[in-house]
Amino acid sequence: MTTVVCPGSFDPITLGHLDVVRRAATMFDDVVVGVAKNPGKSGLLDLETRAGLVRAALASAAEAEPGLARVSVAVVPGLLVDFCREIGAVAVVKGLRGGGDFDAEQPMALMNRHLSGVETIFLPGDQRYAHVASSLVKDIVRHGGPVDDLVPAGVTEALRAALGQPAAGS
């Protein structure tokens, strides 16, 4: 069995993230989504909330794509390479929306390989989601804008709650 990790901040998960996980699951037997802290980002949702939203998104998507039921989700407590070693993952799979993402990801990929030998596989992000970023989603919700077509069900409500906004319709 080949295990890979799809790591990320997932603060919150977007449809772009989900697309990358879905595509990883068509190629590898065992895909683990690793929800981790990025020290360069401030973070709105706590890690367990992020992981819960990823699990809910996968459970819902698995109704149409049963392969997604095999995907598991875990919080990465420390270094990604330690987590990969612990679960026996041979590679990290990351989506790239464009050159900016590559510039950010390449040093991490090289450092992870330096630290442990774990390889990183980059998947080109689907063009439908090239503009979708968790940071933009949060900013839009903060200002009362619509994001329901950018994120899985339940994410908007979780962001509104974290921002201290009233639930929609109340």
Q: Provide the 10 A C-beta neighbour count for residue 162.
A: 16
Q: Kindly report the backbone phi and psi dihedral angles of residue 33, in degrees, each rounded to the nearest multiple of 5, phi listed first.
A: -85, 120
Q: What residue type is 66 in one-letter code?
A: P
Interface positions, 34-63, toward ligand PNS (CB under 6 A):
36-38, 41
Complex with ligand PNS: residue 140 or 165, whichever CB lies closer: 140
Residue 41 known to be catalytic: yes
17 is catalytic: yes
Q: Which of 41, 128, 131, 142 is catalytic?
A: 41
Among 47, 62, 79, 90, binds ligand PNS (CB under 6 A): 79
Q: Is 97 a catalytic residue?
A: yes
Candidates 62, 75, 90, 111; binder of ligand PNS (CB under 6 A) is: 111
Q: What is the DSSP letter of 126?
A: P
Under the binding rule (CB under 6 A), the answer on residue 80 touching ligand PNS is yes
Mode of pairing for the β-strands spanning 119-124 and 91-96: parallel
Non-local CB neighbours of 108 within 8 Å, separated by 6+ positions: 120
Residue 93 binds ligand PNS (CB under 6 A)? no
Report how far residue 66's alpha carbon sits from residue 137's, in angstroms, rounded to the nearest whole number: 28
- Out of 57, 58, 61, 76, point to the residue binding ligand PNS (CB under 6 A): 76
Residues 115/80, Cβ–Cβ less than 8 Å: no
User: What is the contact surface with ligand PNS in residues (CB under 6 A)?
Assistant: 7-9, 36-38, 41, 76, 79-80, 108, 111-112
Active-site annotation, residues: 17, 41, 97, 134
